[in-house]
Structure 1
Amino acid sequence: MERGTQEDARAIEHLVAEAYTVISGPAGEPRDWAAMRAMYWPCARMTAIRADGTESCTVEEYIATKRDFLTDRGFSESALVNRIEVFGAIAHAWSSYSGDWTEPDGTQGATRGINSFQFRRDENGEWRIHSLLWQVETPSLPLPADMEARA
């Protein structure tokens, strides 16, 4: 197998950015769920690791359970630092993120953490997300210094 090219790394970087973009937007703005479905494999899993356990779902389940929160609260999330590795038809992106939203009482909520994206090429040679695993930063689990935003 051959290692990925710079073109592969750029394609993965773009897909990571699109994954953040598709769930982000101001309150009341519908999200492009068709675009989200297209960037993930049909069998993809999305899993959050939390202090109280894990929550895992399909893309369809994610859309059904998170749609109202994302659109009603003006949720926005973006990458801080991405580390991308490509090997043949598989790739991984370790992506720290920062996000925010507005609570119903008008106060701002904020989050940071790390997303672990796994990718594979489809039959047309395009990269798609195979799975997404994430964990939110906590006081006892801060982001590593090299995953903080660079100035």
Structure 2
Amino acid sequence: MRLPVLAAVLALGCAAPAVAQTPAAPAPAETPAAQPADVASPEAIVAALYDVISGDAGVERDWDRFRSLFHPTARLMPSGVNPQGVGVARSITPDDYIARSGPILMRDGFHEREIARRTERFGHMMHVWTTYESLHTLSDAAPFARGINSVQLFNDGTRWWILSVYWLGETPATPIPPEYLPAAG
């Protein structure tokens, strides 16, 4: 008789909200302060992300602004297909992204802009599917790449944070589905 009661108590204890089990971790001191307008809404933080990585060749990016958008535990996850046709993804920190991509963005110029968006929200979390196109300069006749960023956002009651950005570039084998493109009009 005691075993079923113990099992029920354990089950109820495990079903308690995660917020009661895991206190929010404060941002470490080395995280630069965010511009309040950048983190005021999901739309603002996604716009700030695109803005901060974009610029012409020779234009230095504001990497402290970039860092300020990300939660201390954040990850960026580029994905694709290797030469053997196997799907691959890697997980990097915002600082890894800066070290790996910063010199290329500076050398070649890079503008990434959102062309469509889908969002889902539950409480303090939001998932943003943001379709992008990439250009070297804003005057380019056509993008050199397109794809989809899957952005997970978290609101701690004070501001929005990027928890992760997971992306996949469009290829002939993996075209962007119509529901992730701008509505024809």
Say yes or no: TM over 0.5. Answer: yes
Measured after TM superposition, the shift of residue 149 of structure 1 is: 3.0
Tell me the residue number matched to 1:76: 111
d(CA) in 2 for partners of 1:94, 1:118: 9
Q: TM-score, normalised by structure 1?
A: 0.84
More strand by share: 1
Tell me the residue number matched to 1:136: 169
Tell me the residue number matched to 2:101: 66
Contact 1:13 1:84 in 2 (8 A): no
Aligned residue identity for 1:91: M
Contact 1:48 1:133 in 2 (8 A): yes
Cα deviation per residue 1:10-66 (whole Å; 9 max; x = unaligned)?
811121111111100011111010111000011101001111122320001100111
Which structure has the larger Rg over C-alpha atoms? 2
Q: Matched residue of 1:57: which SS? A: coil
Runs of 4+ aligned structure 1 residues displaced above 2 Å come to none
d(CA) in 1 for partners of 2:46, 2:93: 18
Contact 2:133 2:143 in 1 (8 A): no
Measured after TM superposition, the shift of residue 146 of structure 1 is: 2.1
- Unaligned runs of 5+ residues in structure 2 are 1-16, 18-39, 83-87
d(CA) in 2 for partners of 1:109, 1:74: 12
Tell me the residue number matched to 2:9: none
Aligned residue identity for 2:149: N
Comparing 140-149 and 68-77, the one that deviates more: 140-149
Q: How many residues align?
A: 137
RMSD of the TM alignment (CA)? 1.9
Tell me the residue number matched to 2:144: 110
Higher relative contact order (CA 8 A, sep 6+): 1
